[in-house]
Structure formats: C-alpha cells, structure tokens
C-alpha cells in the first residue's frame, strides 16, 4: 500500500452537508494539510455555502445525491481532476432483520452505503488512474466487522462495503491506486445524536484518517472504541491462525 500525500492534491468528499459530521471535518482537515482543491458534495448546495466562503475558492461545492447514478456520472465529469475519492456519505435507519424490520430503510441503507460507493468508484476510476497517485477512501464502520443488533441491516450494508473495499483494492493494485478502509466506532455527529453512548470526535477522526493514508495504513480506525474493537478482532484472528496451523491449515480431510 502506497503512502498518500494530501498536500497539493485534489480531493472529492461525499456527504459534507452535516455541520457536525465526518465529511465536513474531512474537507477542513484536507485544506489544513495543504490540499489544492476539495470538492464537497451535498444534495442541497446551500448547506455548503459557509465552507465555500470560508476557504476562498479551495472548496468547490458539487450537487450530488449519491443514490442517483446520473448525478454521479455528472460529478465525475465536473471533478475530472480528482486524485483522492472519499466515499463518506452514509445512512443508518436502525432496522432489525426479523424484529423491527423496515423494508424502505434497508433498501436506502444498501443504496447509500453499498451501491453509491460502488458507482462512485466506477465513475471516478479513470480519473484516479489518469491523475496519478490516486487513492480511494471508503468510510465503512466497525459494524461491518461485527453487527450492531439495533442496526442489523445497516451493519449488513457496511459489511458489503467492507467486502467491496477489499475487492477493489485488489483490482486497483495494478494501477497503483491505493484503497483504504476506515472503521469508525460511534462518532459525535448529527447522524448519531440519538445514540446514548460514548462517542469519538469527528475532527479527530479526520486527523486519524489522513494520518493513516499518509502512513500507508490500509485499515484505519478513528477512535478508542474502534481501536479496542480492532485489537480484539486481531487477537481472535491470531487464535484462528494458530488453529489452522495445528490442524493442517484448515484443509478438509
């Protein structure tokens, strides 16, 4: 995995509309690290007026509903100089699978959390390859690695994105486009305002995401809970590897 330098780069960030969100924090941190230009997206462009005004031409607002393939294609043409694509936009509707299942919520979660990043990566892939030193960053979730019972279908959509991220990383290796997966725990954003749990800071999450990219870390965590969760999974994986070794790499007899 190549290290990615944010300085003097052109960055495209989806889901920058929330005043208190990871997307907006990523836009501001990219500028702080010397990004030449940051495309920030929202369905309602007026939500980005303050960012555009604050950064005097370095932030370019792009109208984008990530569930609309036509708008995605248009965005890839508008932002054809993009070098770093950050798929941040996401949604969570707190649907169960058996109990409290919500069909409309589930479909929207998959459209936003899985299909949107897929279509964006496909639409922007030629730009990233052509513009050299390209990178893709998918904001996934620790819920992709172990499902949250109160958000079962959200976790499933993020698990699909986790798998997609691994697959695209392999596909893009030959083009020297780095692909990063980001696994936040609960972050103190507008989307999580109703969750009564300890939450990480979105600005600190943005710092850790860019630190991870600049250090070539494929799988990036953003907060203490995500760190602890990741460490626990690694211990389990080590146990699994030990079992495989003891029993002949797990090959069937």
pLDDT tens for 91-102 read 999 999 999 999
3-state helix, strand, coil in the chain (%, to 5): 50, 15, 35
Where in the sequence numbering do the catalytic residues fall? 154, 158
Question: Is the pLDDT reported for residue 248 higher than 80?
Answer: no
At 99, give phi and psi (nearest 5°). -90, 140
What is the DSSP secondary-structure string of 110-178? HIIIIIHHHHHHHHHHHHHHHTSS-EEEEE--GGGTS--GGGHHHHHHHHHHHHHHHHHHHHHGGGT-E
Q: How far is the first Cα of the chain from the last one, in angstroms, to the nearest whole number?
A: 36
194 vs 175, residue with greater confidence: 175
Calculate mean pLDDT across residues 219-242. 77
Q: How far is residue 155's CA from residue 106's CA, in Å, rounded to a whole number? A: 10
Give me 139's structure tokens: 């904001």
**Does residue 97 sit in helix, strand or coil?**
coil
pLDDT at 111 over 90: yes
- CA-based nearest residue to 55, from 75, 81, 27: 27
Q: Report the range of poorest mean pLDDT among 71-75, 116-120, 199-203.
A: 199-203
The larger pLDDT score, comparing residue 37 to residue 197, is at 37
Decide which of 3.40.50.720, 3.10.20.30, 2.60.40.10, 3.40.50.620 is the CATH code for 10-226: 3.40.50.720
Chain centroid to CA 47: 20
Report the pLDDT value the prediction gives residue 6, as an integer from 0 to 100.
Answer: 96
Checking if the pLDDT of 112 tops 90, the result is yes
Print burial letters for 91-111: b (CB count within 10 Å at least 16), e (below 16): bbebbeeeeeeeeebbbbbbb
**CA angle at 243 for the pair 237 and 249, rounded to the nearest 5°:** 100
CA dist 246 → 233, 241, 249, 251 (Å): 20, 9, 7, 11
76: pLDDT strictly greater than 60: yes
pLDDT at res. 191: 61
Distance, in Å, from the CA atom of 153 to the CA atom of 159, rounded to the nearest integer, reads 10
């Amino acid at each position: 995995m190549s290290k990615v330098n944010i300085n003097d780069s052109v960055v495209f960030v989806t889901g920058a509309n929330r005043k208190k969100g990871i997307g907006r924090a990523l836009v501001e941190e990219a500028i702080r690290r010397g990004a030449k230009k940051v495309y920030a997206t929202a369905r309602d462009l007026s939500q980005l007026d303050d960012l555009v005004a604050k950064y005097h031409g370095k932030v370019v607002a792009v109208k984008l509903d990530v569930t609309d393939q036509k708008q995605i294609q248009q965005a890839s043409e508008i932002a054809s100089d993009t070098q770093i694509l950050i798929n941040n936009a996401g949604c969570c509707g707190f649907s169960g699978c058996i109990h409290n299942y919500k069909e409309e919520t589930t479909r929207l979660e998959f459209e936003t959390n899985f299909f949107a990043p897929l279509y964006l990566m496909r639409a922007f892939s030629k730009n990233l390859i052509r513009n050299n030193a390209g990178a893709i960053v998918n904001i996934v979730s620790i819920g992709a690695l172990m499902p949250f019972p109160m958000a079962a279908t959200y976790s499933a959509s993020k698990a699909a994105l986790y798998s997609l991220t691994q697959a695209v990383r392999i596909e893009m290796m030959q083009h020297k486009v780095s692909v990063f997966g980001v696994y936040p725990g609960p972050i103190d954003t507008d989307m999580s305002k109703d969750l009564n749990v300890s939450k990480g800071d979105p600005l600190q999450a943005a710092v850790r995401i860019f630190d991870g990219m600049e250090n070539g870390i494929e799988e990036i965590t953003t907060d203490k809970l995500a760190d602890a969760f990741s460490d626990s999974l690694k211990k389990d994986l080590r146990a699994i590897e030990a079992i495989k070794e003891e029993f002949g790499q797990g090959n069937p007899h």
